[in-house]
Structure 1
Amino acid sequence: MYLLIISIVFLLLGFSLRYLINRRKFNRRGVGGIEEFSSYEKATVLRYVERFGKWIAYILIAIGLLYLWRFYRHTDENKNTAKNTVSIVIGKFNAEQKL
Protein backbone atom coordinates (compact mmCIF):
# COMPACT_ATOMS: atom_id res chain seq x y z
CA MET A 1 0.00 0.00 0.00
CA TYR A 2 2.88 2.32 0.76
CA LEU A 3 4.12 1.90 -2.83
CA LEU A 4 0.84 3.29 -4.16
CA ILE A 5 0.98 6.29 -1.82
CA ILE A 6 4.61 7.03 -2.71
CA SER A 7 3.86 6.76 -6.43
CA ILE A 8 0.90 9.13 -6.15
CA VAL A 9 3.00 11.65 -4.20
CA PHE A 10 5.83 11.56 -6.75
CA LEU A 11 3.42 11.88 -9.67
CA LEU A 12 1.61 14.81 -8.06
CA LEU A 13 4.89 16.57 -7.27
CA GLY A 14 6.17 16.07 -10.81
CA PHE A 15 3.02 17.21 -12.56
CA SER A 16 2.51 20.17 -10.24
CA LEU A 17 6.12 21.32 -10.76
CA ARG A 18 5.67 21.14 -14.54
CA TYR A 19 2.37 23.02 -14.24
CA LEU A 20 3.89 25.81 -12.15
CA ILE A 21 6.85 26.26 -14.49
CA ASN A 22 4.68 26.33 -17.60
CA ARG A 23 2.21 28.69 -15.94
CA ARG A 24 4.96 31.15 -15.02
CA LYS A 25 6.31 30.93 -18.56
CA PHE A 26 2.84 31.61 -19.98
CA ASN A 27 2.23 34.59 -17.70
CA ARG A 28 5.51 36.22 -18.81
CA ARG A 29 4.34 36.39 -22.41
CA GLY A 30 3.22 39.71 -23.76
CA VAL A 31 0.62 40.62 -26.36
CA GLY A 32 2.88 39.53 -29.23
CA GLY A 33 3.58 36.15 -27.65
CA ILE A 34 7.19 36.92 -26.76
CA GLU A 35 8.52 36.40 -23.24
CA GLU A 36 9.28 39.67 -21.49
CA PHE A 37 11.98 40.01 -18.81
CA SER A 38 13.09 43.03 -16.86
CA SER A 39 16.80 42.30 -17.43
CA TYR A 40 19.11 40.02 -19.36
CA GLU A 41 20.47 38.42 -16.19
CA LYS A 42 16.99 37.56 -14.98
CA ALA A 43 16.12 36.00 -18.33
CA THR A 44 19.28 33.91 -18.41
CA VAL A 45 19.01 32.67 -14.82
CA LEU A 46 15.29 31.92 -15.05
CA ARG A 47 15.67 29.91 -18.24
CA TYR A 48 18.34 27.70 -16.67
CA VAL A 49 16.37 27.31 -13.43
CA GLU A 50 13.23 26.40 -15.36
CA ARG A 51 15.11 23.91 -17.51
CA PHE A 52 16.58 22.30 -14.39
CA GLY A 53 13.13 22.31 -12.74
CA LYS A 54 11.59 20.57 -15.74
CA TRP A 55 14.23 17.84 -15.59
CA ILE A 56 13.51 17.38 -11.89
CA ALA A 57 9.79 17.16 -12.71
CA TYR A 58 10.45 14.51 -15.39
CA ILE A 59 12.55 12.51 -12.93
CA LEU A 60 9.80 12.72 -10.29
CA ILE A 61 7.20 11.54 -12.80
CA ALA A 62 9.43 8.65 -13.90
CA ILE A 63 10.00 7.60 -10.29
CA GLY A 64 6.27 7.80 -9.63
CA LEU A 65 5.53 5.61 -12.64
CA LEU A 66 8.17 3.09 -11.55
CA TYR A 67 6.67 2.89 -8.06
CA LEU A 68 3.20 2.49 -9.58
CA TRP A 69 4.46 -0.31 -11.84
CA ARG A 70 6.12 -1.98 -8.83
CA PHE A 71 2.88 -1.70 -6.84
CA TYR A 72 0.83 -3.47 -9.52
CA ARG A 73 3.51 -6.10 -10.02
CA HIS A 74 3.68 -6.67 -6.26
CA THR A 75 -0.10 -7.10 -6.00
CA ASP A 76 -0.09 -9.60 -8.88
CA GLU A 77 2.62 -11.63 -7.12
CA ASN A 78 0.56 -11.65 -3.93
CA LYS A 79 -2.54 -12.84 -5.80
CA ASN A 80 -0.60 -15.70 -7.42
CA THR A 81 0.89 -16.86 -4.13
CA ALA A 82 -2.51 -16.66 -2.43
CA LYS A 83 -4.07 -18.85 -5.13
CA ASN A 84 -1.30 -21.44 -4.84
CA THR A 85 -1.59 -21.53 -1.07
CA VAL A 86 -5.34 -22.03 -1.17
CA SER A 87 -5.09 -24.84 -3.71
CA ILE A 88 -2.46 -26.63 -1.61
CA VAL A 89 -4.57 -26.32 1.52
CA ILE A 90 -7.66 -27.54 -0.27
CA GLY A 91 -5.67 -30.45 -1.75
CA LYS A 92 -4.42 -31.52 1.69
CA PHE A 93 -7.91 -31.15 3.15
CA ASN A 94 -9.37 -33.39 0.42
CA ALA A 95 -6.60 -35.98 0.92
CA GLU A 96 -7.21 -36.06 4.68
CA GLN A 97 -10.93 -36.28 4.17
CA LYS A 98 -10.59 -39.38 2.00
CA LEU A 99 -8.55 -41.19 4.65
Structure 2
Amino acid sequence: MSKYLFVQLTILATNKGLEIVGVLLVITGIIIRYMIGRNRFNRRSITGVETFSSYERMNLTRLLEWLGSIIGLLLIIGGIIMVVLALLNHHSHPHK
Protein backbone atom coordinates (compact mmCIF):
# COMPACT_ATOMS: atom_id res chain seq x y z
CA MET A 1 0.00 0.00 0.00
CA SER A 2 1.43 3.35 -0.96
CA LYS A 3 2.12 5.96 1.70
CA TYR A 4 -0.31 8.44 0.10
CA LEU A 5 -3.20 5.95 0.17
CA PHE A 6 -2.43 5.09 3.80
CA VAL A 7 -2.54 8.78 4.76
CA GLN A 8 -5.85 9.21 2.92
CA LEU A 9 -7.37 6.17 4.68
CA THR A 10 -6.12 7.42 8.04
CA ILE A 11 -7.74 10.83 7.47
CA LEU A 12 -11.01 9.19 6.41
CA ALA A 13 -11.01 7.00 9.53
CA THR A 14 -11.09 10.03 11.81
CA ASN A 15 -14.35 11.68 12.79
CA LYS A 16 -13.32 14.91 11.12
CA GLY A 17 -12.51 13.07 7.88
CA LEU A 18 -15.87 11.33 7.97
CA GLU A 19 -17.63 14.67 8.51
CA ILE A 20 -15.72 16.32 5.64
CA VAL A 21 -16.43 13.49 3.21
CA GLY A 22 -20.08 13.47 4.29
CA VAL A 23 -20.46 17.20 3.72
CA LEU A 24 -18.74 16.92 0.32
CA LEU A 25 -21.12 14.12 -0.68
CA VAL A 26 -24.15 16.22 0.33
CA ILE A 27 -22.86 19.24 -1.59
CA THR A 28 -22.10 17.10 -4.66
CA GLY A 29 -25.58 15.54 -4.56
CA ILE A 30 -27.23 18.95 -4.27
CA ILE A 31 -25.19 20.31 -7.19
CA ILE A 32 -26.12 17.32 -9.39
CA ARG A 33 -29.83 17.68 -8.61
CA TYR A 34 -29.69 21.47 -9.10
CA MET A 35 -28.04 21.11 -12.52
CA ILE A 36 -30.65 18.57 -13.64
CA GLY A 37 -33.48 20.84 -12.48
CA ARG A 38 -31.95 23.85 -14.18
CA ASN A 39 -31.59 21.94 -17.46
CA ARG A 40 -35.23 20.84 -17.26
CA PHE A 41 -36.30 24.42 -16.63
CA ASN A 42 -34.23 25.75 -19.54
CA ARG A 43 -35.75 23.16 -21.89
CA ARG A 44 -39.27 24.48 -21.33
CA SER A 45 -41.02 26.59 -23.94
CA ILE A 46 -43.09 29.68 -23.23
CA THR A 47 -46.12 27.42 -22.68
CA GLY A 48 -44.25 25.37 -20.04
CA VAL A 49 -43.81 22.25 -22.15
CA GLU A 50 -40.40 20.56 -22.37
CA THR A 51 -39.11 20.56 -25.93
CA PHE A 52 -36.76 17.98 -27.47
CA SER A 53 -35.29 17.68 -30.94
CA SER A 54 -36.44 14.05 -31.31
CA TYR A 55 -38.25 11.23 -29.54
CA GLU A 56 -34.98 9.33 -29.03
CA ARG A 57 -33.32 12.42 -27.53
CA MET A 58 -36.25 12.80 -25.13
CA ASN A 59 -36.05 9.19 -23.94
CA LEU A 60 -32.26 9.27 -23.51
CA THR A 61 -32.35 12.63 -21.73
CA ARG A 62 -35.10 11.56 -19.34
CA LEU A 63 -33.31 8.27 -18.58
CA LEU A 64 -29.99 10.02 -17.85
CA GLU A 65 -31.71 12.69 -15.75
CA TRP A 66 -33.57 10.03 -13.79
CA LEU A 67 -30.32 8.14 -13.11
CA GLY A 68 -28.55 11.39 -12.20
CA SER A 69 -31.33 12.36 -9.79
CA ILE A 70 -31.15 8.95 -8.09
CA ILE A 71 -27.36 9.18 -7.80
CA GLY A 72 -27.63 12.71 -6.42
CA LEU A 73 -30.21 11.61 -3.87
CA LEU A 74 -28.06 8.64 -2.81
CA LEU A 75 -25.07 10.96 -2.38
CA ILE A 76 -27.12 13.28 -0.20
CA ILE A 77 -28.47 10.44 1.95
CA GLY A 78 -25.03 8.81 2.24
CA GLY A 79 -23.43 12.11 3.17
CA ILE A 80 -26.02 12.80 5.86
CA ILE A 81 -25.51 9.32 7.29
CA MET A 82 -21.73 9.83 7.36
CA VAL A 83 -22.04 13.16 9.17
CA VAL A 84 -24.51 11.74 11.69
CA LEU A 85 -22.27 8.72 12.35
CA ALA A 86 -19.26 10.97 12.84
CA LEU A 87 -21.20 13.17 15.28
CA LEU A 88 -22.57 10.18 17.19
CA ASN A 89 -19.10 8.64 17.37
CA HIS A 90 -17.68 11.95 18.57
CA HIS A 91 -20.26 12.23 21.37
CA SER A 92 -19.90 8.61 22.48
CA HIS A 93 -16.07 8.76 22.54
CA PRO A 94 -14.94 12.11 24.01
CA HIS A 95 -11.37 13.27 23.54
CA LYS A 96 -8.87 11.13 25.40
- Which TM bucket (shorter chain)? 0.7 to 0.9
Identity of aligned residues (%): 31
- Aligned pairs, number: 81
What is the RMSD of the two structures over their aligned residues, measured on CA atoms?
Answer: 1.1
Q: Counterparts of 1:47 and 1:40 in 2: how far apart (Å)?
A: 11
2:89 alignment partner in structure 1:
74
The TM-score with structure 1 as length reference comes to 0.78
1:27 alignment partner in structure 2:
42
Which of 53, 57, 67 pairs up with 2:72?
57
Mark the runs of 5 or more structure 1 residues left unpaired by the alignment: 83-99
The TM-score with structure 2 as length reference comes to 0.81
2:18 alignment partner in structure 1:
3
The structure that has the greater radius of gyration is 1
Mark the runs of 5 or more structure 2 residues left unpaired by the alignment: 1-15
Q: Counterparts of 1:13 and 1:42 in 2: how far apart (Å)?
A: 26
Greater helix share, 1 or 2? 1
Moved over 2 A (4+): none
